Structure formats: structure tokens, C-alpha cells
């Protein structure tokens, strides 16, 4: 009787231990996963800056690897890490300091950095970012889930982050993607 109990109970306990080990090896849950992110300008972004009434200043600019744009009259202007509104306000302030009377500056992002999808999707790769893109839309752009995919969660490594976080997809609220993100779709266990 004892041998039979060992033969049945021991593999069951090992299975439970293995499954609990798998669950604890998931990346940590993301902090504030459902907030719509504010876009931060980064190197390689292409911007269109329009200064009303100033054709010589109104053109397209590329953010350098140092995070700057080379703007006439002002020289190298730090742009990386700022929102579009912050950069617009900073240029307005700088131009009104002795260069222009009441400048009106508009900044828009023309080309965003791409995002990446890998794992259990039909077509892993690099894809074009669009504002307010969700994780489910990103998976759709990558051809959808494979039959082995875990459809309840994704793992996202934000650009510049050194680790990925777990994002639940079945909470009924969208998970927003940012340019430069890497989305990994894992395999389901059962």
C-alpha cells in the first residue's frame, strides 16, 4: 500500500512543484499597466516643427543620437525625453528671448521608432508604431496568435528598460504600447 501511495503521490507533488516554479518565473507585473503613455521624444525620431510666419525655421528635423535637434538661431536644442508639448513650449520660450516677437511653435512627430513583436505570433518582427496602439493591436499587426500562444498575458520590455514586465490581457482594459517596445507572446502551458 505504501509503495502505491509513493508511486501516485510523489509524481503529483513533483508536478505541482514544477508548475508553481513556472508561475514564479514570470516577469513581475507592470506598474500602472493601463495608463495611456505620454510620448517622449527620442533619438531617431523625425519631427516637423512649424514656426508660424517663419518659413526658414519651419521644416523637418531628426533627433540626433545625442538627443538634440539642430535648430536655426538656437543651435543644438535638447529634445530627447521631452513631450511634444514640452519641446514646443521650450522653443517658444527660447525664440521669444530676443529672436522673435510672440512666436507660435507647433511640433509634431512624423516618424516614430518601431516596436517589435516576437514569440508565439504568426510573423515576428519590427513594425511601424501608431499613437495609442494597444498590445492586442500589436499582436494583430504581427499576424495574430499562434495556436500555442498564451492569450491571457504578454511580456513587454520598454525601450531603455533592462527587464520585461508581465501585462494581463484579459482584464478588459487595453495595454498601450510605446515606440521601441519589445512585446513577447509566451506559450501556454495547457
pTM of the full structure: 0.72
pLDDT of res. 37:
75
Nearest Cα to Cα of residue 67 among 91, 41, 88: 41
3-state helix, strand, coil in the chain (%, to 5): 20, 30, 50
Residues 92-118 pLDDT 10s: 999 999 899 999 999 999 988 899 999
Residue ranges and CATH numbers for the domains of the chain are 46-111 (3.30.1950.10), 112-190 (3.10.560.10)
Residues 124-143 pLDDT 10s: 999 999 988 999 999 999 99
pLDDT of res. 139:
97
Residue 3 has pLDDT above 70, yes or no: no
The secondary structure of 153-169 as a DSSP string is EEEEE-TT-SS-EEEES
Residue 22 has pLDDT above 60, yes or no: no
Nearest Cα to Cα of residue 100 among 66, 135, 54: 54
CB atoms within 10 A of CB 59: 13
188: helix, strand or coil: coil
Distance CA 165, CA 176 (A): 13
pLDDT of res. 17:
43
Q: CA end-to-end span of the chain, whole Å?
A: 32
CB atoms within 10 A of CB 178: 19
pLDDT mean across residues, the chain: 85
Amino acid at each position: 500500500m505504501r509503495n502505491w501511495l509513493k508511486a501516485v503521490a510523489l509524481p503529483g507533488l513533483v508536478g505541482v512543484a514544477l508548475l508553481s516554479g513556472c508561475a514564479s518565473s514570470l516577469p513581475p507585473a507592470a506598474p500602472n499597466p493601463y495608463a495611456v503613455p505620454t510620448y517622449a521624444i527620442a533619438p531617431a525620431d523625425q519631427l516637423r516643427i512649424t514656426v508660424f510666419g517663419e518659413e526658414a525655421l519651419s521644416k523637418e528635423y531628426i533627433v540626433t543620437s545625442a538627443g538634440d535637434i539642430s535648430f536655426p538661431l538656437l543651435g543644438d536644442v535638447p529634445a530627447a525625453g521631452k513631450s511634444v508639448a514640452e519641446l514646443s513650449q521650450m522653443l517658444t520660450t527660447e525664440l521669444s528671448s530676443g529672436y522673435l516677437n510672440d512666436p507660435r511653435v507647433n511640433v509634431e512627430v512624423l516618424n516614430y521608432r518601431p516596436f517589435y513583436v516576437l514569440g508565439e505570433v504568426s510573423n515576428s518582427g519590427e513594425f511601424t508604431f501608431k499613437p495609442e496602439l494597444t498590445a492586442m493591436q500589436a499582436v494583430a499587426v504581427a499576424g495574430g496568435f499562434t495556436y500555442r500562444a498564451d492569450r491571457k498575458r504578454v511580456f513587454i520590455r520598454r525601450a531603455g528598460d533592462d527587464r520585461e514586465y508581465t501585462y494581463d490581457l484579459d482584464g478588459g482594459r487595453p495595454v498601450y504600447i510605446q515606440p521601441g517596445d519589445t512585446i513577447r507572446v509566451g506559450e501556454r502551458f495547457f
